[in-house]
Chains A and B, each alone.
Chain A
Amino acid sequence: MLFRRIYQFLLVYFAGISGLLLVKLLVGLSDYVIPGIPLIFATAGETAKGYFFDVLNTLQVTVLGQVISIILAFTVGIAGRKSSWIGSFIKMIAYNIQAYPIVALAPIIFILLGDGFIPRLLIASMICYFPLLLSVLGVMSSPVKDIEHFYIITGKMRWQLEVKIRAFENLSKLATVISGSATLAMAGAIVAEFIAADAGIGYSIRIALYQSDLAKILVALFMIGIVISIYQGLLESASERIQKAWAISSGN
């Protein structure tokens, strides 16, 4: 799974670069608009090491942000699964927060939390959590009638059991959404760094954009792609193992 993720990324990346180079060649563009291969390599030689550590810095925020958003999404999803007033109120809050553009909320976040690690983490979590929430709400709001019916008529149904049944029956779906949310957490962390931080790959991309340096941006995108492919590949492998282990323990 891990290697498949990496070579799939490399295929997409080099297809993209080839497309750009084709346009450069056909239209006769300078290195300012689309950098040529020698410039890309020269830039990679100068920046790859620094950008690699920048991406690792961003990855720290990504992993933590993803964990927070998973916890948040499950908390809100479980609390909001009922069609009660409280449930619909929680859903309304969750939807509204998502509707506000992060750029508009950012100044408030920075006034309250300063500009450092915490605001990056918060923004990464905010961007990552909503798709997770939708999936969790979908799973938690859908009764597994065959199984739940038994516990209901025997009077043993509790909310913890209901959550367990619904999560277990949709384990594959939840695992896919959680591993897929890694890219969203990474995107969230990069957006946060782009807006305000003074560290991470989003910050480096912002500097490169100030300098209209597409070669640097291409190197940064390569580093982001490689690291997120590895991270996502590891998450998928882990989720496969967990699913297998659960299947064995349940006797399926």
Chain B
Amino acid sequence: MRKNKVICGLVLLAILQLAWGSRADARELTYRLKWLFNASVAGDIYAEDKGYFTKAGLQVKIKEGGPGKDAIKEIELGQTDFGVASADQVIRALEKGAEVVVLFQIFQINPLQWIYRDTLPQITALSQLKGKSIGITFGGNDETIMNTLLAKGGIPKKDVKIYSVRFDFTPFLTKKVQIWPVYRNSQGVILKNRLQAEGENVRFLNPADFGVNFVANSVITSKKMIETDPDIVDKFQTALLAAWRDAMAPANQESTLASIAARDKDNNAAITKLQLLATRELTGTQNFGSIDKDAWIQTEQIMLQEQQIKRPVNIQDWLHK
């Protein structure tokens, strides 16, 4: 009997904690990244390390991301105030009734690309994919993007050899698969470096070159946060954008690398430098942080065509002005 009461009490406490958590304290903000600390989140690390948030009068705790971490869920549960999510995550969440708003877009070019050895002719037309063995993570963004590329190129799936991608690169390294999906500014750099050491050169297949602009990571918050604390949202956005811009500036390269090195446990200075350069290319220089509305609309259309979502979510209404 006593044991039952204790269990009931614990369940009640857990529910209260969830409910209470949704009332986030605006003075102690949390920001959930999508991935681990490395060069691909250079601007986020730089913001904390160089005190951009503090200067804006905010106290922000940056939390590392990783597999299983979902900023949108955490925002809704009140466990975090801001986060990074991929466009497909945002669109899926909106379809299911979540109310998240995109504040700014970190990458102007999607880092999700395909790597291939230069022993293959450079892919300049989608028809060249015919007959190739291509890696795809079933259920992942790369599946959606590759399906769109194949459809755009008029290539039936039976005309390519699809290989299910898992967490290691062995099938690509052993040449079992010719074209392999990578994040251009993280795994892409590592693979390129590794193959170059073996005397092999690589190229990257960027879907944007073929008119497929599938948006990648963006900074998000809840609609409620924008309505109740617009000043905080504004300060956070301004501080983080400034940090990203400064972190990507060539003049601050050494300082940015030092900030990353302090956080990245597996830091390899040479690789991190290359990853930072690749990240800089993807974030853009002229239109840094801007929301590519057309790309968002195309991303939603692709997801509808690929039946990743069942109804339109009018994504343009959820992009912060």
Contact = CB atoms under 8 A, between A and B. Distances in A.
B139 A26 contact: no
Contacts of B77: 27, 29, 33
B206 interface: no
Contacts of A107: 168, 170
Interface string A68-105: 00000000000000000000000000000000000000
A29 B76 contact: yes
A210 interface: yes
Contact of A211 (B164, B170, B308): B308
B171 to A, nearest CB: 8
Interface string B153-175: 00000000000101110100000
A212 B139 contact: no
B7 to A, nearest CB: 12
Contacts of A106: 168
Interface residues on B, range: 20 to 34
Interface residues on A, range: 20 to 34
Contact of A212 (B70, B167, B170): B70
B93 interface: yes
B73 A33 contact: yes
Interface in B49-86: 68, 70, 72-73, 76-77
A203 B165 CA distance: 12
B93 A206 contact: no
Given A26-B15, A107-B170, A115-B166, A39 B139 contact: no
B42 to A, nearest CB: 25
A29 B76 CA distance: 7
A30 B99 contact: yes
A31 interface: yes
A203 B76 CA distance: 28
B170 A33 contact: no
Contacts, number: 72
A23 interface: yes
A65 interface: no
A106 B76 CA distance: 35
A22 interface: yes
A198 B76 contact: no
Contacts of B98: 30, 32-33
B199 interface: no
Interface string A155-188: 0000000000000000000000000000000000
A39 B96 contact: yes
Contact of A110 (B15, B92, B168): B168
A35 B72 CA distance: 14
Contacts of B168: 106-107, 110
B72 to A, nearest CB: 7
A207 interface: yes
A195 B11 CA distance: 33
A111 interface: yes
Contacts of B210: none
A19 B95 CA distance: 24
A234 B268 CA distance: 54
A208 interface: yes
B147 interface: no
Interface of B: 11, 15, 18-19, 22, 68, 70, 72-73, 76-77, 89, 92-93, 95-99, 137-140, 164, 166-168, 170, 308
Given A26-B19, A211-B92, 17 more contacts: A19-B11, A22-B15, A30-B76, A30-B96, A30-B97, A30-B98, A32-B72, A32-B96, A33-B98, A35-B96, A110-B166, A111-B170, A207-B138, A210-B137, A210-B140, A212-B89, A213-B92
The 8 closest A-B pairs by CB, nearest first: A207-B139, A30-B97, A210-B139, A32-B96, A31-B96, A198-B164, A30-B98, A32-B98
